[in-house]
């Protein structure tokens, strides 16, 4: 066998956008690449990132309104995280935490317990949101005992794609024909009566799992008072309330935990994504002391579900410890609340100006959804024949067109949602500035002013020549 030609960092630093795409086409997920291509994201070679911006090799900034679906709360490459990593590595600190008790994991769980209210102070560390959600569900089952092993969840929920998390994720597409854990039927999110009825109907339900704000559903904030009723119902029925704050937690909504807006405390809360400071894969659940101790408190039960191999890894834990400290010390939650208000006010002005295009603006802090009118809406009927010429997925709505053009014409990156294809999801780093919001609004305004036919025409032109200079003179972006 010939010597394998293995690449190092210098090799991949030299890869062009086309070169990167070819490797993904050959070895990763060619089906998914179709969507990346449609949006034109494969045409851009990202070289580095800082704060709320990505940069291409020639230094062109791209404003990041996607924020890794909520993974970049403290911004890309925060200087304190870089300094910590350098110090950690130069000191030859250790990463594997399986043998000796880790000081770095201790630092992280200390900070989480300090910031979590009430009795939320026992922490499980993992690496992904799915992993800690599964661990949280197992904790609830173990706590409740063999007669109450079922978990109630909400319609349009998203808790992850591993089998246990998928069993409480309400997506026909993602579930496919996989054999999952059988759970009771999902209840509508935001409907406390339906939740109460479901619990009354099935005494085997021992836990309710909910996102505090649904992300994949299209940024859905439940009605005021919903969570306090859910908390009361769970208390009355001795059912555990597990909240998933993998996406909405850690400052994004204007409070460190989104449930703090609701005046309740869950029995278990899961966080991930931004816990890794945009540099490491770190996830955690934080459980009520008595829940944890009843489930796993003695030596015999303690090993039923301990950390997996990389749970509590040294540098990752140290980074996460610093990330939550940064969120607290830099008052990023407050900042997200203020910038988010400003963003939503400006978006609502656009909604008033373009009611036939924008249907709704909603969210909390910097977790914002812009719902566009369906492409079948009366005012869009003129473009149906044109829309039919587009790829399957884009026929579904305006977000694909607008997202692709924001990127191609204005170098702004936005996200989409799993279940509502009419929604653009905005989850920028919390360090976003007001001038970044102004730039975003100016660019979105410029696009919407073209009207639906103009948008389709522009999209088609861009598909033919992505690299062409924008036809209009774009607004000048603020410095990244
Ligand atoms: C609310 C929520 N829960 C769980 C997950 C799963 O997290 P991960 O992708 O880290 O497994 C996600 C991921 O998008 C999420 O948004």
pLDDT digits (tens, 9 = 90+) for 388-414: 555 455 545 799 999 999 999 999 999
pLDDT value at position 144?
98
Instruction: Please answer whether residues 251 and 138 qualify as being in contact, where contact means their C-beta atoms are separated by less than 8 angstroms.
Output: no
Q: Is the distance from CB of 406 to CB of 477 less than 8 angstroms?
A: no
- pLDDT, tens digit, 9 for 90 and up, residues 86-135: 999 999 999 997 889 999 999 999 999 999 999 999 999 999 999 999 99
State the pLDDT at residue 294.
Answer: 98
Of all protein residues, the one whose alpha carbon is nearest to atom 16 of ligand 1 is 247
Task: Flag whether pLDDT at 419 surpasses 80.
Answer: yes
* Closest approach atom of ligand 1 to CA 128: 10
Q: Look at ligand 1, atom 7, and give the residue with the nearest C-alpha.
A: 129
Q: How far away, in angstroms, is 403 Cα from ligand 1 center?
A: 22
- How far is ligand 1, taken at its centre, from the CA of residue 75, in Å? 19
Residue 36 buriedness (CB in 10 A; 0-12 / 13-18 / 19+): middle
Give yes or no for residue 188 having a pLDDT over 50. Answer: yes
Average pLDDT value for residue range 71-79 = 98
The mean pLDDT value for 344-353 works out to 98
Q: Given the CA of residue 216, which atom of ligand 1 is nearest to it?
A: 16
* 1 Cα: distance to centroid of ligand 1 (angstroms): 41
Q: Per-residue pLDDT for 387 more than 70?
A: no
From atom 4 of ligand 1, which residue's Cα is the shortest distance away?
159
The pLDDT value given to residue 474: 59
CATH annotation of 46-65+332-464: 3.90.1150.10
Sign of CA dihedral 441, 217, 192, 274: negative
Atom of ligand 1 nearest to the CA of 133: 4
Query: What is the DSSP secondary-structure string of 148-162?
Result: --EEE-BTT----SS
**Which residue from 363, 316, 328, 319 is spatially nearest to 251, judged by alpha carbons?**
328
* Cα separation, 362 vs 341, whole angstroms: 10
Taking CA atoms only, the protein residue closest to ligand 1 atom 9 is 129
Looking at the CA of residue 248, tell me the nearest atom of ligand 1: 1
pLDDT of residue 391: 47
Cα–Cα distances in angstroms (integers) from residue 353 to residues 197, 357, 456, in the given order: 42, 9, 20
Q: How far is CA 188 from CA 13, 145, 214, 398, 462, in A?
A: 47, 27, 12, 26, 40
Atom in ligand 1 nearest the alpha carbon of residue 283: 10
463 has pLDDT over 90:
no
In the reported structure, the alpha carbon of residue 70 is separated from the centroid of ligand 1 by a whole-number distance in angstroms of: 10
What's the gap in Å between 71 CA and the centre of ligand 1?
10
Instruction: Identify the pLDDT of residue 468.
Output: 66
Q: Give ∠ CA 237-243-244 in degrees, rounded to 5.
A: 150
Mean pLDDT score of the chain = 93
Helices 332-353 and 434-448, axial angle in degrees (round to 10): 20
**What is the band of 374 on the pLDDT scale with cuts at 50, 70, 90?**
confident
Q: Is the pLDDT of residue 384 over 80?
A: no
Which of 26, 63, 61, 18 is CA-nearest to residue 42? 18
d(CA 427, CA 215): 10
Work out the angle at residue 307's Cα, subtended by the Cα atoms of residues 306 and 308, and round it to the nearest 5 degrees: 115
Q: State yes or no: pLDDT of 19 exceeds 50.
A: yes
Q: Which two tokens stand for residue 30?
A: 């060619």
CATH architecture of the region 79-329: 3-Layer(aba) Sandwich (3.40)
Residue 33 CA to ligand 1 centre (angstroms):
21
Burial of 30 (0-12, 13-18, 19+ CB in 10 A): exposed
Of 249, 292, 221, nearest to 116 by C-alpha is: 249
Measure 246 CA to ligand 1 centroid, in angstroms. 6
CA distance 93 to 70: 29
Residue 356 has pLDDT above 90, yes or no: yes
Long-range contacts of 307-311 (CB under 8 A, 24+ apart): 307/97, 307/98, 307/124, 307/125, 307/126, 308/126, 308/127, 308/131, 309/98, 310/127, 310/281, 311/97, 311/124, 311/125, 311/126, 311/127
- Kindly report each contact of residues 190-194 with a partner whose C-beta sits within 8 Å and lies 24 or more positions away, as own/partner: 190/220, 190/222, 190/223, 190/226, 191/226, 192/226, 192/229, 192/230, 192/233
User: Residue 356: which residues within 8 A CB-CB, separation 6 or more?
Assistant: 373, 377, 379, 380
Span from the CA of 79 to the centroid of ligand 1 (angstroms):
26
Q: Look at residue 287 and tell me whether its pLDDT is greater than 90.
A: yes
Which of 70, 213, 246 is the best mutation target for the ligand 1 pocket, counting ligand atoms within 8 Å of the beta carbon and taking the most?
Answer: 246
Residue 366: Cβ within 10 Å count? 32
Q: For the stretch 51-66, what's the b/e string if a residue is b when 16 or more beta carbons lie within 10 angstroms of its beta carbon?
A: bbbbbeeeeebbbbbb
For tokens 């992904």, the residue is 128
Mutate to test the pocket of ligand 1, among 160, 171, 320 (most ligand atoms within 8 A of CB): 160
For ligand 1, what atom is nearest to the CA of residue 131? 11
**Is the predicted pLDDT of residue 236 greater than 60, yes or no?**
yes
pLDDT at 462 over 50: yes
Atom of ligand 1 nearest to the CA of 214: 1
Examine the pLDDT at 67 and tell me if it is beyond 70. Answer: yes
Residues with C-beta less than 6 Å from any ligand 1 atom: 69, 128-130, 133, 158-160, 211, 215, 244, 246-247, 272
Between 284-288, 307-311, 331-335, 456-460, the lowest mean confidence (pLDDT) is in: 456-460
Task: Write out the two tokens for 212.
Answer: 């505090």
Q: Where are the domains of the chain?
A: 46-65+332-464, 79-329
Please report the pLDDT score of residue 242 as a whole number: 99
pTM, entire model: 0.95
Instruction: Please check the confidence at residue 471 and state whether its pLDDT lies above 60.
Output: no
Does residue 378 carry a pLDDT above 50?
Answer: no
For residue 470, the model assigns a pLDDT of: 58
pLDDT at 340: 98
Terminal C-alpha separation, the chain: 49
């Amino acid at each position: 066998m010939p010597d394998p030609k293995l690449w190092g960092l210098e090799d991949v630093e030299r890869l062009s956008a086309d070169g990167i795409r070819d490797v993904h086409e050959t070895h990763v997920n060619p089906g998914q690449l179709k969507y990346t291509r449609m949006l034109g994201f494969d045409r851009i070679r990202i070289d580095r990132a800082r704060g709320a911006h990505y940069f291409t090799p020639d230094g062109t900034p791209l404003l990041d309104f996607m924020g890794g679906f909520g993974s970049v709360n403290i911004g890309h490459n925060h200087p304190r995280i870089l300094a910590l990593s350098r110090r950690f590595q130069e000191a030859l600190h250790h990463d594997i935490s399986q043998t000796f008790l880790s000081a770095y994991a201790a630092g992280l769980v200390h900070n989480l317990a300090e910031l979590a209210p009430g009795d939320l102070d026992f922490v499980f560390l993992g690496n992904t949101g799915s992993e800690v959600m599964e661990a949280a569900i197992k904790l609830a089952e173990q706590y409740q005992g063999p007669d109450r092993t079922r978990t109630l969840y909400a319609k349009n929920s998203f808790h992850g794609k591993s089998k246990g998390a998928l069993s409480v994720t309400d997506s026909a597409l993602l579930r496919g024909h996989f054999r999952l854990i059988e759970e009771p039927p999902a209840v509508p999110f935001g409907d406390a009566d339906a939740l109460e009825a479901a619990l009354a109907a099935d005494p085997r339900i021992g836990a309710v799992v909910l996102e505090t704000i649904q992300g994949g559903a299209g940024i859905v904030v439940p009605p005021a008072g919903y969570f306090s009723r859910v908390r009361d119902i769970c208390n009355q029925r001795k059912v555990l309330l597990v909240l998933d704050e993998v996406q909405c937690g850690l400052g994004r909504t204007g409070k460190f935990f989104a449930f703090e807006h609701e005046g309740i405390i869950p029995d278990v809360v899961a966080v991930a994504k931004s816990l890794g400071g945009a540099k490491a894969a770190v996830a955690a659940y934080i459980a009520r002391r008595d829940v944890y101790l009843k489930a796993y408190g003695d030596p015999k039960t303690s090993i039923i579900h301990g950390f997996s191999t990389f749970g509590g890894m040294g540098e990752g834990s140290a980074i996460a410890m610093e990330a939550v400290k940064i969120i607290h010390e830099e008052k990023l939650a407050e900042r997200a609340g203020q910038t988010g208000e400003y963003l939503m006010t400006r978006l609502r002005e656009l909604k008033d100006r373009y009611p036939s295009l924008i249907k709704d603006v909603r969210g909390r802090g910097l977790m914002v959804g812009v719902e566009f009118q369906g492409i079948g809406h009366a005012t869009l009927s003129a473009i149906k024949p044109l829309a039919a010429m587009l790829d399957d997925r884009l026929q579904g709505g305006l977000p694909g067109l607008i997202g692709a053009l924001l990127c191609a014409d204005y170098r702004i990156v936005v996200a989409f949602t799993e279940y509502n294809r009419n929604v653009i999801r905005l989850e920028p780093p919390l360090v976003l500035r007001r001038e970044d919001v102004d730039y975003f609004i100016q660019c979105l305004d410029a696009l919407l002013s073209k009207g639906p036919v103009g948008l389709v025409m522009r999209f088609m032109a861009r598909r033919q020549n992505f690299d062409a200079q924008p036809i209009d003179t774009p607004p000048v972006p603020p410095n990244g």
